[in-house]
Amino acid sequence: MREYLLTLCITAAVTYLLTGPVRKFAIVAGAMPEIRARDVHREPTPRLGGIAMFFGLCAGLLVADHLTNLNAVFSNSNEPRALLSGAALIWLIGVLDDKFEIDALIKLGGQMIAAGVMVVQGLTILWLPVPGVGTFALTQWQGTLLTVALVVITINAVNFVDGLDGLAAGMVCIAAAAFFMYAYRIWYGYGLEAAAPATLFSAILMGMCLGFLPHNIHPARIFMGDSGSMLIGLVLAAGAISITGQIDPDAMNLFSGSERATVHQTVPVYIPLLLPLTIIAVPAADLVLAIVRRTWRGQSPFAADRGHLHHRLLEIGHSHSRAVLIMYFWSALIAFGTLAYSVNSASMWIVLGIAALSAVGLVLLLLPRFRPRAPRWAQRIVPPRYRRRKPALATAECPEAAGTAAGDGAEFAGGAEGADVEPRTPVVAGANGASALGVRGRR
């Protein structure tokens, strides 16, 4: 565990320290697109944050290669090299898109080529655990097509959700944390060395996201761009492919009694990791809804719009910061809920806990329509959004009070939690990120 934590910390440190110089480079290089109709920020913000994340990935792999225990991952498997090759290719395509806005079909082709490069080097799905049947071996073509499809879906799901400051990096970090706990349990709990690469990938991915987040939280100083969103999507997919399609359930028969029992025991995590419907369930749902919505309107599935889940949260009255936290909450609930269920699927308390937290999540979603007001004796100690409004007659008779109330409202609207003041001007994200929401920006 200490070597994984060391790798994570070094990856985060390198990413964090390089993001500042990369921001200056992006400004000099002109990687600051103009504000578009669907964006939520008010000022052009540099992209190319994926450059720092890529070098953080390289640093993490380099350090792990020189550690005593993690060195075996590189000597016994070609998967780290396959990941680095695919990551370098998808990162280069993302950098070109951040600077020159390349066509969506070209990006899709590049994603498929990057996935193919990893398949050629051995990072592919070999078999699937099927409930009630056992292990289903895949042919070479079946494994290749399934691997490429998983990589492309994951990359685009992460890319689609990158619409608010800190949203994509935070959600992927949550997914990587849940994935690390699962892979670490398979590696050290069951003694299956084949899970070691996936454990390493998830630790490095957490470091990349944690190192970039301080620069990307609201108000963001830099966006990761496609160079970052496609990169972390590919790393996430690589970990899922490594552990889902290459660990033979037969190796776990000593712990569960039979192959069929093993498959039943691991299905709650195996199948969701494969498709991937838990660790990135929110981005995947957003991806499907976006494709259906655009196709229904007669548009290209790759045509950008303002109908994503995070945009809808802003429209119903959530502030920028609260919308991001709500998306974090749902991602963590789905990812860690599935992880807990895979550990002990027979426990009713886990199911009840997930149901209770889901109810809390629904309340948070409806919070703008349910605004509790503090009693009069607590008016001075609560935030302005929970204070009772002055009657119109009293405001007219006392202009000073009116000025004070207006000042409070303006101050609140310019902050991260502006939800009560009308009218409110939405401000929207850059190419792949979003920034501020409020009357005043804090750039």
What pLDDT, on a 0 to 100 scale, did the predictor assign at position 303? 60
What pLDDT, on a 0 to 100 scale, did the predictor assign at position 249? 59
| pLDDT confidence bin for 414, thresholds 50/70/90 | very low
| pLDDT confidence bin for 91, thresholds 50/70/90 | very high
What pLDDT, on a 0 to 100 scale, did the predictor assign at position 395? 43
Average pLDDT over residues 244-254: 61
What pLDDT, on a 0 to 100 scale, did the predictor assign at position 241? 87
Res. 258: pLDDT tops 90: no
Q: Are 409 and 382 in contact (CB under 8 A)?
A: no
Res. 415: pLDDT tops 90: no
| pLDDT confidence bin for 425, thresholds 50/70/90 | very low
User: Any residues with CB less than 8 A from the CB of 45 and at least 6 apart, and which?
Assistant: 32, 220, 221, 222, 223, 430, 433, 435, 443
226 is in an annotated binding site: yes
- Tokens standing for residue 215: 């620069």
Q: Are 58 and 231 in contact (CB under 8 A)?
A: no
- Tokens standing for residue 285: 């749902």
Least confident among 7-11, 78-82, 324-328, 386-390: 386-390
99 vs 46: CA distance, rounded Å: 10
pLDDT tens profile 358-387: 888 777 766 665 555 666 676 677 666 556
Average pLDDT over residues 211-232: 91
What pLDDT, on a 0 to 100 scale, did the predictor assign at position 81? 93
236 vs 275: CA distance, rounded Å: 12
The angle at the Cα of 104, spanning 331 to 312, to the nearest 5 degrees, equals: 40
Question: What is the rounded (10 degree) CA torsion for 363, 367, 371, 377?
Answer: 70
271 vs 130: CA distance, rounded Å: 9
Domain ranges for the chain: 2-365, 372-413
pLDDT tens profile 103-161: 888 999 999 999 999 999 989 888 776 655 667 788 889 889 999 998 998 898 888 77
Residue with tokens 């308390």: 349
What pLDDT, on a 0 to 100 scale, did the predictor assign at position 205? 95
357 vs 80: CA distance, rounded Å: 37
Res. 96: pLDDT tops 60: yes
Average pLDDT over residues 284-299: 74
Among candidates 166, 442, 115, which has minimal Cα distance to 327?
166
What pLDDT, on a 0 to 100 scale, did the predictor assign at position 393? 45
Least confident among 209-223, 338-352, 397-411: 397-411
Burial class (CB in 10 A: 0-12, 13-18, 19+), 415: middle
Res. 239: pLDDT tops 70: yes
Q: What's 128's DSSP letter?
A: E
Chain-centroid distance of CA 172 in Å reads: 3
- Tokens standing for residue 319: 């502030």
Q: What's 428's DSSP letter?
A: B
- Tokens standing for residue 83: 């990941």
- Tokens standing for residue 329: 């909450």
297 vs 106: CA distance, rounded Å: 23
Average pLDDT over residues 208-233: 91
Which amino acid does the sequence have at 263?
A: V
- Tokens standing for residue 221: 């100083």
The answer to whether the predicted template modeling score (pTM) of the entire model surpasses 0.85 is no
311 vs 206: CA distance, rounded Å: 26
Neighbours of 178 (CB within 10 A): 24
Q: Are 174 and 328 in contact (CB under 8 A)?
A: yes
Res. 337: pLDDT tops 70: yes
